[in-house]
Amino acid sequence: MSITPFKIHIPDEELDLLNRKLELARLPTYITNAHWGEENGVGVKLISDTLDFWRTKYSWREEEAKLNKLPQFKTPIDVDGFGTFDIHFVHSKTSKANGIPLIFLHGWPGSFAEVEKILPILNDSGFDVVAPSLPGYGFSSYTDKRDFKLNHMAEIMHKLMQKLGHKEYVVQGGDWGHWVVRVMAIMYPENVKAMHVNMLYINPPDFKDGEPKYTPYEQKSIERYRWFMDTNSDYNKIQSTKPRNLSFGLHDSPVGMLAWMTDKLFLWADNYPWTPSELITWTLLHWFPGPVTAIVLYHNNPPSENAHTGLVAKNVVKIPTGLSTFPKELSPVPRSWAETAVNLQFFTEHESGGHFAAYERPKELSDDMIKFFKQFWKA
């Protein structure tokens, strides 16, 4: 049950295959919007320009070297009924005494690399940070058995923290990570001392005495929530119902994967200035290991199940919880909504920022995490 150092190294033959596919890429001509449009996804010019950059200027080896500056490891973790998972994670320790152990969990279409910008801030502030690749993402293995649920992912992450010597710890998550840390808080309340999230998906509460009066910020949050549910949540229905069909195209075509990713990166962020290198690297962190298992996760854990019938839907999180709300998050919720689902002890509304808060607004998110966790951490 060893913990071994890990460095990313994509074989040369994989890079050669990638370059051949890029040279042979065929783009559609019907989709004419130049850059990106909410109503029709990414435009040909954006993908064409990014593809030209990819072919002529982008270097995976340079990006790989940057990622390998993060202290990475792998370790096997067993789950009853599902066998052994090979879990990849970043583990970066603070130089300060009595560091606060923190597990940071990403979501889709992100990866462990979302921790990159907040890592030095948290280390400098006294946190020992563990940032795993979720099972099926990046360099963590998955299972070929059905019904691998949130509670199994929570079990893996809890066992990882225990294996690293952290009997007690704090948790942070967004997107899928927010689902997993909520389940961890429910399953392991004696170990998880506090939870912070930058996304809190809940169904609109049934206020028996009538809805509260919402502030202008909260009204916009509700509008964003409804906009996402009504017009932009179909991707998760596809990934929940027909993940294998979608995966054939994404697994084969790096440009197809780029377009699927880029649409979400632009749509879910708050005017973040994505560079061609960022778009490509985020894409390749799914394409090289294969995007199939990260998408199958939706099939095993349909978001509708999580919200309506799953462990999270049936249990209020009782440990101290902090929520940082960003206006372009997919489901920003009013404080009154959050208080129906968690023991809310910290709540901050930010004027800008979106779904990828750790990457878009690293200082704002880090400041919130530091302030909240230091208030409730008692070693």
Condensed to tens digits (0 to 9), the pLDDT of residues 334-361 reads: 999 999 999 999 999 999 999 999 999 9
- Given a cut of 90, is residue 264 above it in pLDDT? yes
Three-state DSSP state, 88: strand
* 246 within domain boundaries: yes
Out of 267, 299, 331, a domain closes at 299
Determine the Cα–Cα distance for residues 275 and 49; give it in Å rounded to an integer. Answer: 11
Q: Which of 113-117, 133-137, 153-157, 200-204 has the lowest average pLDDT? A: 200-204
**Among 299, 328, 349, which residue terminates a domain?**
299
Domain membership of residue 360 (yes or no) is yes
Residue 314: predicted pLDDT: 85
pLDDT of residue 35: 54
pLDDT at 379: 55
Tell me the two tokens of residue 20. 């051949």
Quote the CA–CA distance of 149 and 62 in Å, as a whole number. Answer: 36
**Beta-strand pair 192-197/169-173:** parallel
From residue 248, alpha-carbon distances to 20, 44, 251, 284, 293 in Å are: 18, 22, 5, 16, 12
Q: Is residue 76 part of a domain?
A: no
Residue 222 identity (one-letter amino acid)? I
216 and 340 fall within a common domain: yes
pLDDT of residue 308: 65
Does 176 reside within a domain?
yes
Q: What are phi and psi of 113, to 5 degrees?
A: -65, -10
Q: What is the pLDDT of residue 72?
A: 98
Q: Report pLDDT for 278.
A: 98
Could you give the CA distance from residue 83 to residue 251 in angstroms, rounded to a whole number?
25
Q: What is the mean pLDDT of residues 35-47?
A: 71
Give the span between the Cα atoms of 40 and 43, in whole angstroms. 8
Q: Which of 299, 323, 344 is the last residue before a domain boundary?
A: 299
Residue 99, number of CB atoms within 10 A of its CB: 18
pLDDT of residue 323: 98
For residues 276 and 176, state if they share a domain: no
Q: Give the per-residue pLDDT at 244.
A: 84
Same domain, 91 and 157: yes
Instruction: Extract the tokens encoding 345.
Output: 């002890």
213 half-sphere exposure, CB direction, 13 A CA radius: 0
Does 171 lie in the same domain as 114?
yes
CA distance 175 to 234: 16
Contact 356, 116 (CB under 8 A): no
Residue 131 is encoded by which pair of tokens?
């940032």
Task: Say if 70 falls within a structural domain.
Answer: no
Q: Are 149 and 356 in contact (CB under 8 A)?
A: no
Strand 4-6 relative to strand 72-79, pairing: antiparallel
User: Which candidate, 35, 180, 156, 159, places its Cα nearest to that of 107?
Assistant: 180
Nearest to 169 by CA among 156, 179, 160: 160
Please report the pLDDT score of residue 38 as a whole number. 52
Query: Between residues 247 and 133, which one has the greater pLDDT?
Result: 133
Question: Would you say residue 304 lies in a domain?
Answer: no
Percent residues over pLDDT 70 in the chain: 96
Whether 90 maps to a domain, the answer reads: yes
Site of tokens 């750790």: 358
Among 37, 49, 68, CA closest to 285: 68
Q: Helices then strands (H, E): number in the chain? A: 17, 11
**What is the residue-averaged pLDDT of the chain?**
93
Question: Do 52 and 86 belong to one domain?
Answer: no
Question: How many domains, in total, are found in the chain?
Answer: 2
pLDDT score for 42: 83
Domain co-membership, 338 together with 219: yes
- Chain centre distance of CA 356: 8
Average pLDDT of the residues in 277-306: 91
Residue 162 backbone phi and psi in degrees, to 5: -65, -40
User: What does R_g of the chain's alpha carbons equal in angstroms?
Assistant: 20
> Is residue 190 exposed (0-12), middle (13-18) or buried (19+ Cβ within 10 Å)?
exposed
Residue ranges making up the domain that contains 114: 82-229+310-376
Residue 1 has pLDDT above 70, yes or no: no
Cα torsion through 28, 33, 34, 35, rounded to 10: -100
| Same structural domain, 209 and 97 | yes
At residue 303, the pLDDT reads 74
Whole-angstrom distance, CA of residue 353 vs CA of residue 348: 12
CA 141, 144, 149, 151 torsion: positive or negative?
negative
Average pLDDT over residues 106-124: 97
Asked whether residue 146 falls in the same domain as residue 268, the answer is no
296 token code pair:
């199958």
Are 106 and 191 in the same domain? yes
Q: Which two tokens stand for residue 315?
A: 């249990």
Lowest mean per-residue pLDDT among 74-88, 139-153, 180-194, 230-244:
230-244
Specify whether 213 is located in the same domain as 153: yes
State the CATH number of the domain containing residue 362.
3.40.50.1820
147 and 48 inside one domain: no
What's the pLDDT score for residue 33?
54
Give the integer Cα–Cα distance in Å for 324 and 349.
6
Structure tokens at 340: 């129906």
Determine the 3-state secondary structure of 78 from DSSP: strand
Average pLDDT over residues 23-52: 77
Tokens of 273: 């200035």
Q: Is there a domain that residue 263 lies in? A: yes
Domain shared by 201 and 141, yes or no:
yes
